[in-house]
Structure 1
Amino acid sequence: MEERDISDLLARYEQMLLTGKSMYFDADEYDDLAEYYDKLDDIETAREIVDLGLSIHPDNEALMLRFGKYLVYDAKYTTALHYLNSRFSSYDFELYLLKIECLLHLDLYAEAYELTAEILSDEDTDLDVILSELGFLYVGAEYYDEAILYFEKSLEYDPNNMEVLNDLAYAYEVKSDFASAIIVCNQILDADPYSIDSWIMLGKLYSLEEDFEKAIDAFDFALALDETNINILKLKAHCLLLSERSEEAIEMLKECIKMSPDESLLYLSLAECYMSLEQYKDVLKALSAYEDLVGETPESMAKKAHAYLLQGKIDEAVEFIDKALNADSDSFDVNMIAGEVYLKLNIPSGAEIFYKKALTLNEENAEEVLEKLVSVYLRKDELLNAIECQERLFEITESTQSHEKLALLYMENGDKESFQAAIESFDDESLFSILSVFYPNDMSDPPSRESMLLRLNEAYECRLLYKNIKY
């Protein structure tokens, strides 16, 4: 719809402000003025206009609706809902959207769904718009399953709605359904192949799927559209490192440093690349460049400690990890590296303290920490603690490798019931793998399942012979 020309109305309003003299505006004019400033994102002026309009036209529904909208904008959901319920009694699409938004943010899902159903039953035109508006409300309130449903239904009417496609991709990403998000992102790019933001989003999604080569390809397309975009270069460098193409990552980071030499985090990323190549002198140079910009930080000191540790320079490693701990004892990375240092010093009890602290600091990295704790407890001959950590690790990963290791720990601990339950749940490939631990030179042809189970039970009975097996 073509916008109305309100230049005369604006001139009158500005004249009123300039002279300080009151002028009469009808309710529609106040609404038009508020809409104008709303679109300029000048919300404060729009509020003032609505307040002034309501002081003259207190029962005007359009102005009352705008007043309620600003309450919602301020996240005053209870106040907004009370206001809207007290001022309106009949159905109105915009009104119901505001009420639904309030109800969703107040976790009153059933009431919100009731109003949603009423909208869908009363409206029979522009369903693509109605469904998309509902989707925006539900995604804003973090009801992602419902948002996805409404967005997908909206796209049945208008498959090329970019705003809906972008929000649908976002909803899938938040739910960690990266594969679906990638499909939607590709739909966006089919419609607009020159969208840099969409290529960046696709690259990020592929990196979350750990498909780093495809992520790199996506970032290359983005760079073809904007070759000097440092953010894209950094994203590509990160994926190059994760795909074990560290030399290329280093060159890209050096290019970024030329573009932005005072961006300190680039030097930390560069140090990480050199670390992956075991080029420890270059690691320390990169960290020194970082510290020239921001001074010593717990992160840089911990990374120095790690570099010295991997070079076998234990005294230097201890010096820097102690400094890092004094600076920030609640850093996950610092505690992890401290654990490694203490293991290298053959002080497993000290390593245990730091790894357990790290586990409390970052549950998202529990897998990495639990693996370290299993090693610590085996070093301390604390099998029950090792088993407990391995059980937690298996719950998290559900991987064959962690299950096989758990079975071996059950064997070492003499827990026949748990050992048998574990091996009987293995498929033939896993049985063959664990049997190879005991009979590495007698595994040319996989025996039958029954034979493998029998031989593993025999190995269990002779477990004392295998106490020196390294887990």
Structure 2
Amino acid sequence: MEEEFEFGFTEDPKFSVERYEEMIRNHDQYFFDAQAFENIIDYYIEKNAPSKALQVSEYARNQHPFAAVFLIKQAQLLVVNNRASEAFAALDKAAMLEASDADIYIIRGNLYESMERNTEALENYEKALEFAEETDEILLHIAYVYQNMGDYDTAITYLKLCLKQNMENQDALYELAFCYDVLDNQEESVQFYQQYIDNEPYSYAAWYNLGNAYTKLSLFEKAIDAYDYAILIKDSFASAYFNKGNALVNLEKYAEAIEVYRQTFEYEQPNADTYCAIGECYEKLEQMDEARSFYKKSVKMDPKLADAWFGIGVTLDFEERYFEALHFYKKALDLDIANADYWFAIADAEYKLGRITEAEHAYEKVVELNPLDVDAWLDYSSILYEQKRLAEAIETISEAIKNNPDAAELYYRMVAYLFAKGEYNEALSFLEMALASDPEKHYILFDYLPQLQENKIIIDIINRFNR
């Protein structure tokens, strides 16, 4: 007959684990009280051994058949092992033993949430709120469900409730920023984080999110102040340094931005995005060797970062090494085929290499992908004009105007093409439209066709508008 030993909750958890493992080795049967079993299960969960923890929960259930806690633990472990239907069954049994245990409804809610059965998830989370002592994490999960349903306003309501329960819930702070972002409601976001900071002035996450909201409103000076507070509170906050760097770039303070980007390396491993951002700053400062060196570091770390390949191309283009630049532009394009900026750079490089057909094809792609790019329309039509394909140049500018009816540059260019084609009345009518749109830009016309400065009718019309 097997001898039964009993181990109680007064034991050191490590001692309970050792005794349990001894029992398994000896194929014996020891008795553990409920607390000892919980300690053993938690030990294996911490050691990331869910299968062993599941085995312990089975022993615990056999010895303590009326303790709901082991069914709940079992359900949690079954979820980890992707055994949803068994987890549901364990939770149903637990509910029969202890219907007021909030964990039953939280785990069930998690399961339904992962299956996108949102209504059932919400029902269970609401039930959990009735029984739980601490509710901030449940409120956070309810917010997640509403986000999944696309109802960001309700999600915001629950995130605010969550923060009311626990001002330090970082996840809720970041999720709130995300919801405001999706709703494009940065003003309300700023208002919320300012109020939050009044109560919690040392919340680095709140200062950081406030900085992000200011950035989206293009209030870069204020954003930098907010990031500075976040860094002051948590000096190892790499993301705050990075975003401060981005704000400085937007203010064209490239040398300062480089210093701030470099500070991120003190607190996290250098990454491809930061190297690329530093490369871009050096590029703006026209220090092309430095820029290229950082872009190369970036692609070495992440060969799929299209912007870094493109940056290498830009530095070569600047040095009039168009053929080499094209190679890198095309590498970027392979990774992001629908990027209008990449097509534009390719079009320009092909044109400079005298490959007119290739340039034309690339400009066609630019205006197809981004019909609001006025410069692309002007350059594209210019190629056609240079080849004496006047009718096509006029047609192209006409299409450009349809897409950009407020762009005075396009009307002035149309005037030049119509004059070149001898369609004077039509040209004068477009000149009036151009002047009505922006009279100060009339110099564009003379830049393109200097001889029109001798045309008395044109000068009279311009003078009339300028008066």
TM-score normalised over the length of structure 1: 0.64
Please show how residues 185-200 of structure 1 align to structure 2 within 5 Å.
185-200=193-208
Is the CA contact 1:308–1:317 (under 8 Å) kept in the aligned structure 2?
Answer: yes
CA separation in 2, counterparts of 1:272 and 1:203? 22
- Counterpart of 2:116, as a letter, is D
- Counterpart of 1:15, as a letter, is R
Match of 2:406 among 404, 419, 423: 404
**Count of aligned positions:** 397
CA separation in 2, counterparts of 1:154 and 1:295? 43
Is the CA contact 1:77–1:106 (under 8 Å) kept in the aligned structure 2?
Answer: no
Q: Which residue of 2 aligns with 1:417?
A: none
The answer to whether the aligner puts 1:95 opposite 2:97 as a matched pair is no
**How far off is 1:240 after superposition?**
0.7
Please show how residues 64-463 of structure 1 align to structure 2 within 5 Å.
64-74=71-81, 77=84, 80-81=87-88, 84-85=91-92, 88=95, 91-92=99-100, 93-116=102-125, 123=130, 129-130=134-135, 132-139=137-144, 142-143=147-148, 144-155=152-163, 158=165, 160=167, 162-163=169-170, 165-166=172-173, 168-173=175-180, 175=182, 176-225=184-233, 232-253=240-261, 267-277=275-285, 279=286, 282-288=287-293, 291=296, 302-310=310-318, 313=320, 316-325=321-330, 329-331=334-336, 332=339, 334-344=342-352, 350-351=358-359, 353-354=361-362, 374-375=377-378, 378-379=381-382, 381=392, 402=404, 404-405=406-407, 436-437=436-437
Is the CA contact 2:193–2:209 (under 8 Å) kept in the aligned structure 1?
Answer: yes
Is the CA contact 1:283–1:307 (under 8 Å) kept in the aligned structure 2?
Answer: yes
**How far off is 1:441 after superposition?**
10
CA separation in 1, counterparts of 2:207 and 2:307? 32
Is the CA contact 1:169–1:180 (under 8 Å) kept in the aligned structure 2?
Answer: no
Structure 1, residues 229-263: CA drift from partner, whole Å, max 9, x if none? Answer: 66544432222111122232244456678999976
Structure 1, residues 36-64: CA drift from partner, whole Å, max 9, x if none? Answer: 65578765654342233235556643212
CA separation in 1, counterparts of 2:73 and 2:131? 25
**How far off is 1:374 after superposition?**
4.2
Structure 1, residues 103-142: CA drift from partner, whole Å, max 9, x if none? Answer: 232222233344455566xx3885xx44651332542784
Matched-pair identity in % = 19
Q: Which residue of 2 aligns with 1:17?
A: 21
Q: Which has the larger radius of gyration?
A: 2
Closer, same or farther in 2 for the Cα pair 1:229/1:134, shift >3 Å?
Answer: closer
Note the residue ranges of structure 2 that are not aligned, 5 or more in a row.
1-7, 385-391, 415-431, 443-460, 463-467
- Counterpart of 2:107, as a letter, is L
CA separation in 1, counterparts of 2:234 and 2:308? 32
Q: Which residue of 2 aligns with 1:52?
A: 59
CA separation in 1, counterparts of 2:237 and 2:118? 43
**How far off is 1:165 after superposition?**
4.8
CA separation in 2, counterparts of 1:134 and 1:50? 29
Structure 1, residues 246-281: CA drift from partner, whole Å, max 9, x if none? Answer: 23224445667899997676554333123324x2xx
- Counterpart of 1:404, as a letter, is D
Is the CA contact 1:301–1:320 (under 8 Å) kept in the aligned structure 2?
Answer: no
Q: Which residue of 2 aligns with 1:447?
A: none
Q: Which residue of 2 aligns with 1:63?
A: 70
- Counterpart of 2:32, as a letter, is F
Structure 1, residues 162-200: CA drift from partner, whole Å, max 9, x if none? Answer: 457525534535635444444444455334433444433
Closer, same or farther in 2 for the Cα pair 1:124/1:351, shift >3 Å?
Answer: same
CA separation in 2, counterparts of 1:224 and 1:131? 27
Structure 1, residues 399-420: CA drift from partner, whole Å, max 9, x if none? Answer: xxx55249978xx8xxxxxxxx
CA separation in 1, counterparts of 2:90 and 2:334? 50
CA separation in 2, counterparts of 1:6 and 1:64? 23
- Counterpart of 1:341, as a letter, is A
RMSD: 5.0
Q: Which moved more, 1:142-151 or 1:111-120?
A: 111-120
Is the CA contact 2:143–2:159 (under 8 Å) kept in the aligned structure 1?
Answer: no
CA separation in 1, counterparts of 2:17 and 2:267? 48
Q: Which residue of 2 aligns with 1:424?
A: none
- Counterpart of 1:286, as a letter, is A
TM-score normalised over the length of structure 2: 0.64
CA separation in 2, counterparts of 1:290 and 1:188? 39
Structure 1, residues 311-364: CA drift from partner, whole Å, max 9, x if none? Answer: 5x2xx122232255268723447545323323555767534655777899xxxx
CA separation in 1, counterparts of 2:363 and 2:9? 67
**How far off is 1:67 after superposition?**
1.8
CA separation in 2, counterparts of 1:441 and 1:335? 28
